[in-house]
Amino acid sequence: MVTDENTIAIPQLIYEAVSRGKREWEQTFDSIADLIFITDTNHTISRANRAMAKHCGLRPEDLPGRKCYDLFHDLASPPPYCPLKSLKEGGAPRAEEVEVAKFCGFFDISVSPLYNDEGTLAACVHVARDVTERKKAEEYRLELEQQLLQSQKLESLGVLTGGIAHDFNNILMIILGHCLLAKENQASAPVVGHLDQIESAGNRAADLCRQMLAYAGKAPLIQTQIDLPALVRDMVQMLQPAFNKKVTIECDLGGDLPKLTCDEAKIQQIVMNLVVNAAESLGEQGGKVKVTLSHKTVLQAQQEVDCFGNVIPPGTYQCLEVADTGCGMDQETQKRIFEPFFTTKFTGRGLGLSAISGIIKSHNGALQLCSAPGAGTTFSVYFPLPPCCPAGDQVAAPLPLPLNAAARLEGTILLVDDEEELRAVGCELLTSMGFKVIAVNNGSEALAIWQERKSEIDLVLMDLTMPELDGVETYRALREDTPTLPVLFCSGYGDQDIRPCIGEDARAGFIAKPYQLAQLQAALAALWKTA
């Protein structure tokens, strides 16, 4: 019999090719980073790759014969989302993202069927991809988006609130101005009584507008140097008698803290609101409120953020912390507590924490919040200290404060306001004080009148927000022409927009609407002294 060498070589080549393919398949199977294991229809593992074995802390040969739900999920029976039952009933393969407590992570698990020659389901191939880091990144992204949306929402509310307060202040200026003029016009006693009631209500409305402007970060600031520990100590001593006897307030006010440059009345408002809220959160059962002051330094590498997700700038701060052992707040409540007029109290109203956030913003500070249901609440307020002077001994000189002035003043005032009713009441008030008044309705007209009659005009009283040329633009044009002309700004907003513009100009001042006649007279007298 003749043997063909080629005939003998062909089976050998086929065998070698099959062996090589098997080795390559096994190498590929073991080199894949995803966790792969094959099970029969009873959830018993028949094969697993190296990544699966390593994740389970075993060798690949230790896995066959184990139940996948025991090995992977650490369960005594298949989990509810196991797709094998669906595959047995002819369902389509599907993928699931599941949290695997045993491995403290999240996995994308896909299950594909393997059929025998008769078309019957014989096994399943499971591929599990660890997506824990991706999941964390997604959750972090969603958290940042929520913080951004919340910040944008509060910013929008601030713009809306500030605009409403500005318009209301203008209206209140008209109401209170006419009240004052009517009382000076020899009104009868009953009429004066009614006017007093109107004036009182108007002043209460003006206080509310000031709170709204504080929330919007536009409230006028009266900057002075204060001893914050002394202020906090005095506020706590004043508030303590009003609280439930079961409420204990502890103070740790630190030592040798530098003086703080701020608006004292507004800092008092912060301390009062935080301490009162903390005490009220304790309810009838009582508890402890701890007030702490400390000196803190925020470093560039720390990436500290406030409760709105904004990065706290690096620098030195005085930090006020108010912590309570009360009921705490859930995440949903924490998202809403800075909204105007939101309250968790059975009876409550006003701007509370929303005004506080505005005051802190106007002081270039930051606010942090830590709370959980049943675990109490801690508010941390960061007040910045000047970087060039950590001890706070040198501060920029504040704008001159109005002087008390009872003397009747004389001269001609150029009154600039775009609202006709405000111009009318302003003219009458200034005339009643002894001034001559020239009234115009915008900055362009003011500049034109100034060029024509500058020899007559002694002072300009000007609104800040006007069409065509606003107060700042008009001021700059007047300063280029006459650096010594006294200019008094008035606005329903605060003075934040005007302070950087007038800087150290002693012949420029600001008065907030609505103002009392005595306040206007004092502000005018202060500028008259500089003329």
Q: Name the pLDDT band for 211 (thresholds 50, 70, 90).
A: low
pLDDT classification of 321: cutoffs 50, 70, 90: very high
Nearest in space to 458 (alpha carbons), one of 484, 440, 480, 496: 484
**Model pLDDT for residues 57-108, shown as the tens digit of each residue:** 888 888 888 888 888 888 888 887 777 777 777 777 777 788 887 788 888 8
Give the domain-ending residue among 68, 95, 130.
130
- What is the SS3 assignment for 46? strand
**Assigned domain for 41 exists:** yes
CATH number at residue 242: 3.30.565.10
Residues 211 and 228 in one domain: no
Range list of β-strands (E), 188-265: 223-226, 247-252, 260-263
- Per-residue pLDDT of 108-122, as tens digits, reads 888 888 888 887 888
pLDDT at position 346: 43
Same domain, 379 and 290: yes
Query: Domain boundary at 78, 99, 130, which?
Result: 130
Structure tokens at 430: 């200034």
Look at residue 237 and tell me if it is in a domain: yes
How many domains does one find in the chain? Answer: 5
Regarding whether 313 and 281 lie in a shared domain, the answer is yes
d(CA 206, CA 183): 20
Same domain, 371 and 240: yes
145 lies in some domain: yes
Lowest mean pLDDT among 27-31, 320-324, 503-507: 27-31
Contact present, 131 and 104 (Cβ < 8 Å): no
pLDDT band at 415 (very low <50, low <70, confident <90, very high): very high
Residue 334: name the closest of 308, 297, 298 by CA. 308
Report the distance separating Cα 432 and Cα 412, nearest Å. 13
Query: Are 247 and 305 within one domain?
Result: yes
Give yes or no for residue 323 having a pLDDT over 80. Answer: yes
**Which CATH number does the domain housing residue 147 bear?**
1.10.287
The CATH number of residue 46's host domain is 3.30.450.20
206 and 235 assigned to the same domain: no
**Mean pLDDT, the chain, as a whole number?**
78
- Contact by Cβ (8 Å): 321, 281: no
Whether residues 165 and 207 fall in one domain:
yes
- What is the pTM assigned to this prediction? 0.46
351 with 278, same domain?
A: yes
CA-to-CA separations, 226 to 197, 230, 265, 419, 474, in angstroms, rounded = 36, 8, 10, 39, 35
Beta bridge partners of 296: 317
Residue 406 maps to a domain = no
Residues 168 and 266 in one domain: no
Q: Which two tokens stand for residue 479?
A: 């300063």
- Sequence-distant (6+) residues with CB within 8 A of 323 are 278, 289, 290, 292, 376, 377, 378, 379
> Each residue of 31-65: pLDDT tens digit?
777 888 888 888 888 888 888 888 888 888 888 88
- 474, 468, 422, 424: which is closest to 449 by C-alpha? 474
Q: What is the DSSP string of 330-361?
A: -HHHHHHTTSTT---SSS--S-HHHHHHHHHH
Q: Is residue 84 situated within a structural domain?
A: yes
Q: Is the separation of the CB atoms in 53 and 59 below 8 Å?
A: yes
∠ at Cα 228 (227, 231), nearest 5°?
90
Q: Confidence band (pLDDT; 50, 70, 90) for 160?
A: low
Domain, as residue range, for 158: 141-215
Say if 6 falls within a structural domain: yes
Same domain, 75 and 109: yes
**Are both 251 and 290 inside the same structural domain?**
yes
Cβ(428)–Cβ(185) below 8 Å: no
Residue 389 within any structural domain of the chain: no
The last residue of one of the domains, among 130, 150, 183, is: 130
Residues 242 and 350 in one domain: yes
Residue 69 located in a structural domain: yes
